[in-house]
Structure 1
Amino acid sequence: MDAVVHTTLASFDAATHDRLAADPVCNTVALTSLDRIRRLPATAEPPILITFHDNGEVVGSLIRTPPWPFQVADLPVAAATLAVQVAREIDQDAPGVTGPRQRSHAFATAYAEASGETFTESLATRLYRLGTLAPPTTVPGAGRMATEDDAELLGAWRAAFVAEAVPEGPDEHPAEVMRTSLRLGNGHALWELDGTPVAWAAASIPQAGMTRIGPVYTPPEHRRHGYGAAVSAMASQWALDQGAAEVLLFADLTNPISNSIYQRIGYQPLDDWAEYWWKR
Structure 2
Amino acid sequence: MILRRLSGAGEFLEVAGAYLERREAEHNLLLGLAGRLRAEPTLFGHEPYLAVVTDAETVVGAFLRTPPHNLVLSELDDPVAVELVAADLLEVDPTLPGVLGPKAAAARFASAWQQLGGASGRVAMGERIYRADRTHAPAGVPGRMRAYEPADRETTLRWLREFADEAMAPGDPLLDAEDWLEGRLREPDGGVVIWEDASPVSFAGFGNPTPTGIRVGPVYTPRELRRRGYATALVAALTDVLLRRGRRHCFLFTDLANPTSNSIYQRIGYTPVTDVDMWVFG
TM-score (norm 2): 0.92
Offset of residue 205 of structure 1 = 5.3
Identity of aligned residues (%): 32
Contact 2:90 2:118 in 1 (8 A): no
1:111-126 superposed matches below 5 A? 111-115=113-117, 117-126=119-128
1:90-239 superposed matches below 5 A? 90-115=92-117, 117-166=119-168, 167-185=170-188, 186-194=190-198, 196-204=199-207, 206-239=209-242
Q: Distance in 1 between matches of 2:171 and 2:245?
A: 33
Offset of residue 116 of structure 1 = 5.2
Secondary structure of 2:209's partner? coil
Q: Distance in 2 between matches of 1:129 and 1:172?
A: 24
Q: Distance in 2 between matches of 1:123 and 1:81?
A: 22
Mean CA deviation greater in 114-123 or 82-91: 114-123
Offset of residue 68 of structure 1 = 1.1
**After the TM superposition, which segments of 4 or more aligned residues of structure 1 sit over 6 Å from their partners?**
none
Offset of residue 181 of structure 1 = 0.6
Secondary structure of 1:232's partner? helix
Mean CA deviation greater in 42-51 or 118-127: 42-51
Counterpart amino acid of 1:122?
A
Contact 1:189 1:234 in 2 (8 A): no
Q: Distance in 2 between matches of 1:247 and 1:48?
A: 26
Offset of residue 207 of structure 1 = 1.8
Q: Could you tell me which runs of 5 or more consecutive residues in structure 2 were left unpaired when the two chains were aligned.
A: none
Counterpart amino acid of 2:240?
Q
Mean CA deviation greater in 143-152 or 239-248: 143-152
Aligned residue among 274, 277, 282 for 1:274: 277
Offset of residue 172 of structure 1 = 4.3
Q: Distance in 2 between matches of 1:113 and 1:78?
A: 14
Contact 1:206 1:239 in 2 (8 A): no
Cα 1:48/1:148, change in 2 over 3 Å: farther
Q: Could you tell me which runs of 5 or more consecutive residues in structure 1 were left unpaired when the two chains were aligned.
A: none
Mean CA deviation greater in 208-217 or 40-49: 40-49
Secondary structure of 1:207's partner? coil
Q: Distance in 1 between matches of 2:280 and 2:208?
A: 29
Secondary structure of 1:236's partner? helix
> What do you get for the CA RMSD once the two structures are aligned?
1.7
Q: Distance in 1 between matches of 2:39 and 2:216?
A: 20
